Amino acid sequence: MQKFSAIFILLFFLSACASDTGGNRNLQTAQLEIEGMVCQMGCAKAIENKLSQTEGVRDVKVSFKEGRAYVAYETATTSPTQIARTVENIGGGGKYKAVILSTSTTPENTVTETENRKVQDMTPQMSLPHFPTVFEALLGFGKRLR
């Protein structure tokens, strides 16, 4: 049973650390002006969280100070109009107004370096765990259960 648990935990770590190798194909960015935000932690974070859960949205950065959202999205899955509609429907609708200011793509159809930097701050960085340490911890945990 302990070996099964150790294998299960190891497989969980490996699958949790898998990365999308699809690249940035068909990825564009949209810049939206958002009216109705009254605070950074409530409004801007709520918009950021809602958009990050939207299918096809890869990266989101909402700036309360600028009153703007920078959204990297997959063109095959969503559009700037759908993204703006999602913002306007937060909290039952009527709270925010989203206006599409611009959309852009590079000739290679990927996000430009400048646009990528705008959304890079909130992108989680993951790395594989140090496996010898994980194994030692699992073995030590198993010994303590005996």
How does pLDDT run across 114-146, given as a tens digit for each residue?
555 655 555 555 566 666 676 676 777 555 555
SS3 category, 100: strand
H helix or E strand, kind and range, residue 5? helix 2-16
> What does the alpha-carbon distance between residue 97 and residue 37 come to, in Å, rounded to a whole number?
9
> What does the alpha-carbon distance between residue 67 and residue 99 come to, in Å, rounded to a whole number?
11
What residue segments make up the domains of the chain, in order of their start?
A: 27-120
Structure tokens of 10?
A: 């190891």
The 10s digit of each residue's pLDDT in 16-56 is: 554 454 555 588 999 999 999 998 888 889 999 999 999 99
State residue 61's pLDDT score.
94
Task: Tell the CATH topology of 27-120.
Answer: Alpha-Beta Plaits (3.30.70)
